[in-house]
Homo-oligomer: A and B are copies of this chain.
Amino acid sequence: MRTIDWNKESKTIMMIDQTLLPKEYRVIECATLSSLCEAIKTLRVRGAPALGAAGGFGVALAATLSSAIAMDGLIKDMNVAARTIKATRPTAVNLAWGVDRVMHAISDAYDVDGIRDIAISEAVRIAEEDVLINKKIGLYGAKLLDDGDTVMTHCNAGRLACVDWGTALGVIRSAVETGKEIKVIACETRPLNQGSRITTWELMQDNIPVTLITDSMSGHVMRERMVDKVIVGADRITEDVVFNKIGTYTHSVIAKEHEIPFYVAAPISTFDFKGWEGSVRIELRKPDELRFFGNEQLAPSDVPVYNPAFDVTPMENITAIITERGVFHPPFLLDEVLA
């Protein structure tokens, strides 16, 4: 089962409910627009590429559900749905991108059946393309891993952040597929523990050996030579830096200190060719993420907290960036990618 998929028979959206992991694996069906929007809002589906697919499937679902018999009525219904879906996570660029791509595709249709067919096929294409991109990233990245390697990763740049396969974890999957024995060390990734909750679960499903550590142990495991390579994903890549989940920069400094290769795996869509470190404001998240975990209290309920969502890793700490167009080595990154 993919992270998110279109059910051809029932014409509904199927997804893995990620809020229940690792305790429970449950596939849920979104047969209405409101159930899809609820799933996006509550992070049952998350991760930039997966949200792109969710946006596309959402508009296709709206087209299917609409009772309109004329083209303008159907397009009107779909436009309302498009706005509703985008509003669920207004900062998620990929969600809006997926919605807009399907809305753009239907302009080729000449009747309501055509609109419905194109909406579905374009949404499916978004999902298919995402898998293909990840497989290509995997193909290039797998060559960087050696048989017997132990690879450390942070957060979840895996199948469940995408439609399938994953970026950082996709590289590991591809290496395993070619017969290499790869072990993974997963950092738990405080404060939301995507590493311990999702990355470990994903890898255990695939029988790829994984060991969980706290984020603070990265220094110790690298000093003890327990790590051969580090691979992480990326939220945004500018010419000078990589923005990724908080903790990435710390791991990159430790890797540099121990001369351990530090790789970033990400699709070209992650590149922000106009941006630079200073042009991006780092999102500060709620203090309660550090004060509580579920019902458990971790700190005084009124303690001041600094909770940036991501940090900034300069290119000098990065050995290479693995994309679907190949492996790029700083500092000539953007020139090469654009070539």
Known: A189-B216, A216-B189, A217-B306. A299 touches B223 (CB 8 A): no
Q: Are B247 and A219 interface neighbours, CB within 8 A?
A: yes
User: Please, which residues of chain B bring their CB within 8 A of the CB of A257?
Assistant: 253, 257
> Digit string of A211-244 for contact with B (CB within 8 Å is 1, else 0)?
1111111111101000000000000000000000
Known: A299-B193, A300-B22. A305 touches B215 (CB 8 A): no
Q: Are A200 and B299 interface neighbours, CB within 8 A?
A: yes
User: Please, which residues of chain B bring their CB within 8 A of the CB of A94?
Assistant: none
Q: Which chain B residue lies CB-closest to A301? A: B22
Closest approach, in angstroms, between the C-beta of A223 and any C-beta of chain B? 6
Complex interface residues of chain A between 171 and 213 (CB less than 8 A to chain B): 185, 187-191, 193, 196-197, 200-201, 204, 209-213
Known: A216-B216, A257-B253. A223 touches B298 (CB 8 A): no
Contacts beyond the supplied A213-B306, A217-B306: 18 A-B pairs with Cβ under 8 Å: A22-B303, A190-B214, A196-B291, A196-B303, A209-B304, A211-B303, A211-B305, A212-B290, A212-B291, A212-B304, A215-B215, A219-B251, A220-B249, A220-B250, A223-B249, A250-B250, A253-B254, A293-B298
Say yes or no for A331: interface residue by CB 8 A criterion: no
Say yes or no for A274: interface residue by CB 8 A criterion: no
Known: A188-B298, A295-B295, A298-B196. A305 touches B213 (CB 8 A): yes
Copies in the complex: 2
* Contacts A/B (CB < 8 Å), 15 sampled: A196-B303, A200-B300, A204-B302, A211-B303, A213-B290, A216-B251, A218-B250, A219-B250, A219-B252, A220-B246, A223-B312, A253-B253, A293-B293, A293-B294, A294-B296
User: Please, which residues of chain B bring their CB within 8 A of the CB of A8?
Assistant: none
Known: A300-B200, A306-B211. A246 touches B223 (CB 8 A): no
Q: Are B190 and A188 interface neighbours, CB within 8 A?
A: yes
Complex interface residues of chain A between 1 and 31 (CB less than 8 A to chain B): 22-23
